[in-house]
Amino acid sequence: MRPIHVPAAIAAAFILASCAAQPIAPTAQRIYALDCGQNSALDQSRWSPGVNAGVPIVLSDNCYVIRHAKGVLLWDTGYPDALTGKSQTGALGTATRAKSLAAQLAEIGLKPSDVNLVAVSHTHGDHVGNVAMFAGSRILIQRAEYDWAFGAGRTAPFPADVKVEKLDGDLDVFGDGSVMILSTPGHTLGHQSLRVRLAHTGTIVLSGDAAHFRDNWENRRVPSMNTSADATRASLERIAGVLKAENGTLWINHDLPQSRSQRRSPEFYD
């Protein structure tokens, strides 16, 4: 058989053409991790039943700003800005906030009115403390979460006149697959997590409170206050599947060592 000689220039052009034909997955532009408070809890076993009973733990509390060509999304709003420089002590521990959310947004050039989208993982007070600051934004929350939290006999987690957009499951936020709300119930009835694709960092999943810290994530532990243990486990498996499929990284909101190891706003990941 005669060898087939392909001129080098043609071969190179072919390689370039086949590279160009590769679809480039749409990505968000940047993610910033903002300090949205800290909780010094007296007993870790509230989150890890039977494990480390009576051992204190300090939990971080993050908010995340995701910049996309089509808009700015804030994920969770943290403890209320009114707590800035103060502390609040209850039976379970002490919550503080070193810096306001508004000041940290200003540091990256944003006013609350520039944040056109807000999504909250769930309605606990360390996640919805500043929702009312974004009354002009599209606020994305699971219907199951909203209807439960604002149900009869419950204390409204934020002012009831704040308009929200109720979701029934996953949402492709910008319509290009780059930022996806994932329905991950279990911690609460309508808990959600967020999958973010970035050009250099790759895929990140923001946990919400699907897991509170690394040890709980690795051992698939279910906190005592969760609304459903079975739903929690199913949601953890769902997240694990997404991470595996995209070789992604889980950012665990309340895991202080992980939070400290990451770039903090105004630094960012892209």
Cβ-based nearer residue to Zn ion, 75 or 174? 75
* Gap between the Cα atoms of 30 and 131, Å rounded: 22
Overall residue count recorded for the chain in this entry: 270
- The least CB distance from residue 125 to Zn ion, in Å, is 8
DSSP assignment letter at 97? B
Cβ-based nearer residue to Zn ion, 131 or 198? 131
- The least CB distance from residue 187 to Zn ion, in Å, is 8
Cβ atoms 43, 92 nearer than 8 A = yes
- The least CB distance from residue 57 to Zn ion, in Å, is 13
Place of tokens 């698939």: 220
Q: Around Cβ 220, how many Cβ atoms within 10 Å?
A: 12
Cβ-based nearer residue to Zn ion, 198 or 236? 236
- The least CB distance from residue 121 to Zn ion, in Å, is 8
Stretch that binds Zn ion, among 83-91, 121-129, 190-198, 258-266 (CB under 5 A): 121-129
Residue 145: half-sphere exposure toward Cβ, Cα within 13 Å: 31
Cβ-based nearer residue to Zn ion, 126 or 255? 126
Stretch that binds Zn ion, among 76-84, 144-152, 160-168, 205-213 (CB under 5 A): 205-213
Find the binding residues for Zn ion in span 53-92 (CB under 5 A): none
- The least CB distance from residue 176 to Zn ion, in Å, is 29
Among 209, 255, 258, 268, indicate the residue that binds Zn ion (CB under 5 A): 209
- The amino acid present at 64, given as its one-letter code, is Y
Interface size with Zn ion, residues (CB under 5 A):
2
Cβ atoms 263, 65 nearer than 8 A = no
Question: By CB neighbour count within 10 A (0-12 exposed, 13-18 middle, 19+ buried), where does 195 fall?
Answer: buried
Stretch that binds Zn ion, among 26-34, 88-96, 125-133, 261-269 (CB under 5 A): 125-133
DSSP assignment letter at 237? H
* Gap between the Cα atoms of 60 and 87, Å rounded: 14
Residue 126 in contact with Zn ion, rule: CB under 5 A: yes
Residues of the shown chain interacting with Zn ion in the complex, contacts defined by CB under 5 A: 126, 209
